Chain A
């Protein structure tokens, strides 16, 4: 196969030539008066230098710089308050002039551009596209498992600039295509069903020497029980299986004290079922369900689950005694009988049967079951295969696949190389299905599949628009309905967007957009210390916190609710564990539910979400600077420049002699630091009442009282999260602008350029006037010229 084909030339170059006429009358003196002192030849505060700025805007970077100057003036952030200030009249003139200059530059740039957007699918998009192309169950099948991680640009991993292609990645594409072809091309009869039952002593994983009519589990972490007939090879074919287990909770309360066994006898015993694959190893291990087991009465569990070939299932006692069995034999048993000696290895026979045990009588598996055979994702390309399929059938089938895989009509000439490749294989080896898989692999490694290419005129063609839209809202390929829709008609487009957001595939948008906008993916990168945060792990708070934020996003999205609720929602979504963590009473279920918040919960909006508070901490303590930067970057859209490279970060005070505030006062002593930290630190310090895992606190561990007060650059005094909420609500325009820009970057898969500003500014204004609805914002983005053009 000609792999090298894939190395596409990324001629992504923007020639935003502007045809500005006159040199601006007021700009140069203004810059000299108010800016160059700090951003000139001598000093380049914030890494900005304006003395060399050209004003004819032939240079794209110059235009971006002017846009930034205009933004800073509009926000009133520059010049800083202690410096010489322009008069209101001067400001008005310069803002008007800059706005006009930039507007002209934009029009000129757009006319000349014809920006060829060529970007490859990122990992998530590749996975989802494969899922939808072949209607595969991808829960345990990840062909991208060895792919290198995708780099983020502007905080998003779907920006073309960051999606580089390497030799290594190409090899991975080949391997992935092989796996996918093997999985998706399933000719032949429906796989035969298996029905296996293991009882008592036949159950695998039972303790040696203790085989009987039941298989016993005595502690939480022990070799799990399994169906011994499956242990070596797992299930024979991909499909849906039914797992049945008969189990009993034996002596939940026993002579042993809970604290000795490290166990909670008040909870019903819980059995968990997990699946794994010998071939894929630890990465494939996954819990598929947890079930309460009744005391002294056989509980029969029946669970339907999709299993890939080679997978096996295991049983564990999810809430059994913690620690090792050896510990019980050495340290616990001697407390209860003087026939055992502390701390020796007493015989296990002395304990087995005397304490709480989860007994399993029977394990059973039946399957695979299929709703239809052949599978839909195979039959749509290879319908009713003849007994002796021939070359014509091969061509027809691969043509059908290519049209879907390339997300557009494909000409015969374009198809020719792929068909020829498969046919040569067929002639040589006389094996039709091997040749078919070969052809499928060729199509899946084609740049036409891997790259989202937009060609031709400036305005997106219908199928290009469908593709952009579906990668925006589904992170996957468009479906047949979307490809067939007359998207050039605004009503049709609007309805399609509504349909797509209602479709379960839109969970990819919540996960990938919200996850990256809010930095939720960083959650887990610096996890809390397991020793000091036991509950965090026992209750899986990390997942719960992420779920809370996803649910808030989903709720605002589904109801077209105001995006300002991200700042001040008076509700949130909690399960029992997270509610306990937040100290909010009244939630007793493991299921998430909507909870109305009171003022003294301090929780409204994203600023009270454990996910964000934990992701902006380092696992041991809070990082006010990171939190401050997070607010500036993700809510206000004014990220500070990174610290100069020669600056040492403030050492954390491990002895705990100084409060966080005292430490951060050091920023004031150094003017280089102070420049940015006077914007960052007040925000971060005002969040100090939330600790490193988002628990509300009034004092530090060393008992000193937390002081959340501070003063923003514009003079606003703040004293805690509520005052930040108020500060943000006075800047709804800025917040809306920030979110819109993030959505645009994600939707377009490229950085925002000053030429996009007109659309963004207009949308921000319209959305503000129409109630800030999130769906409406998305609709307006999709309807914009920027979205529909290259």
Chain B
């Protein structure tokens, strides 16, 4: 995947890592829940109460179409490398890049207390990043999100802190859209004033380019991220050329891609998700636009070869 030219130029200006004096780059907090589905959350139309996550969504951008990888390990690897699983080897790591550019690391915590105490002691003069892992139970996730948000807000970091909440999935190998389509919420008050819902396409390869862009680290050729920075999408850019027009989920030899309407996988399954979200029906041969969409998605699958 090519690096978007505009972002490349933009980033070259802020050649890292030398940020002398006040470093006002944003803090980056990623909350990664295990096996959290859309059905768990009220803001995604689920029937479990999730007041804290709903608030996060209301203040940020809630993505309707975000894909993880088929299992949790692949999701994690993809998130740290910015590359699809078949491109993972020898990839640099997100946390190493951030630390090298002068970010203070809050670590990757499973323990809530550890995360909270880090947030409590963090200084404003140096930006930090932190990844917090949380279990799969909806109510528990919401409770922990609430705690983390209060800690951030208490310390007056809210304005300059990006909070990203999504799910890495579970252990099983997912093979459909409705399995890999996860909750994905980003609150970044320094970019987005008003909450909204986005239909832009994002997947786990986009997280690294987004963080690099906000940390003003050049996304050099060596990084070779497969994704795109979500910053234009977050700021509400209208221009589709700055955003994804397909997303992918990959495991071993199996790959599936989708656009805004259709899904195609390497086993030849092709569905219209607008009329068939459970992927149960063949696309009608009378549908005149489907063949073109399918050909385009096939082109995306073939690019991996």
Contact = CB atoms under 8 A, between A and B. Distances in A.
Interface stretch (B47-55, B183-191, B247-255, B286-294): B286-294
A433 interface: no
B292 A346 contact: yes
A399 B272 CA distance: 71
B295 A353 contact: no
A405 B257 CA distance: 76
Contacts of A420: none
Contacts of B239: 353-354
A347 B299 contact: no
Nearest to A337: B241
B296 interface: yes
B283 to A, nearest CB: 13
A339 B289 contact: no
Interface string B234-252: 0001111100011000000
B184 to A, nearest CB: 18
Contacts of B293: 344-347
Interface string B267-293: 000000000000000000000110111
Nearest to B298: A341
Contact of B240 (A250, A341, A345, A351): A351
B295 A349 contact: no
B245 A349 contact: yes
Interface residues of B, number: 19
A345 B289 contact: yes
B154 to A, nearest CB: 34
B143 to A, nearest CB: 34
A70 interface: no
A255 interface: yes
A350 B292 contact: no
A352 interface: yes
Contacts of A336: 241
Given A340-B296, A341-B292, A347 B241 contact: no
Interface residues of A, number: 18
Nearest to A345: B292
Nearest to A330: B292
Contacts of B178: none
Interface in A329-375: 336-337, 339-341, 344-347, 349-354
Nearest to A352: B240
Contacts of A346: 292-293, 296
Interface string A41-62: 0000000000000000000000
B65 to A, nearest CB: 11
A416 B16 CA distance: 101
A352 B200 CA distance: 12
A350 B245 contact: yes
B236 to A, nearest CB: 10
B240 A349 contact: yes
Nearest to B246: A339
B72 interface: no
B261 interface: yes
A344 B295 CA distance: 8
B132 to A, nearest CB: 33
Nearest to B241: A354
B238 A347 contact: no
A645 B155 CA distance: 102
A344 B296 contact: yes
B14 interface: no
A250 B237 CA distance: 13
A207 to B, nearest CB: 13
Contacts of A345: 288-289, 292-293
Contacts of B245: 339, 347, 349-350
Interface in A308-344: 336-337, 339-341, 344
B260 interface: yes
B168 interface: no
B288 A347 contact: no
A494 B254 CA distance: 96
A347 B261 contact: yes
Nearest to A214: B238
Given A339-B246, A345-B289, A347-B259, A354 B240 contact: yes
A329 to B, nearest CB: 9
A574 to B, nearest CB: 42
B201 to A, nearest CB: 9
Contacts of B289: 345
Contact of A349 (B260, B288, B299): B260
Contacts of B259: 347, 349
Contacts of A351: 240
Which of B245, B246, B291: most chain A CB closer than 10 A?
B245
A342 to B, nearest CB: 10
Interface in B201-247: 237-241, 245-246
Nearest to A209: B260
A209 B260 CA distance: 10
Contacts of B240: 349-354
Contacts of B241: 255, 336-337, 354
6 contacts: A344-B296, A345-B293, A349-B245, A349-B259, A350-B240, A354-B240
Given A339-B300, A349-B240, A350-B240, 5 more contacts: A339-B246, A344-B293, A345-B293, A353-B240, A354-B240
For the complex of A and B, 8 pairs with smallest distance between CB atoms: A344-B292, A353-B238, A345-B292, A345-B289, A349-B260, A350-B245, A350-B240, A347-B259
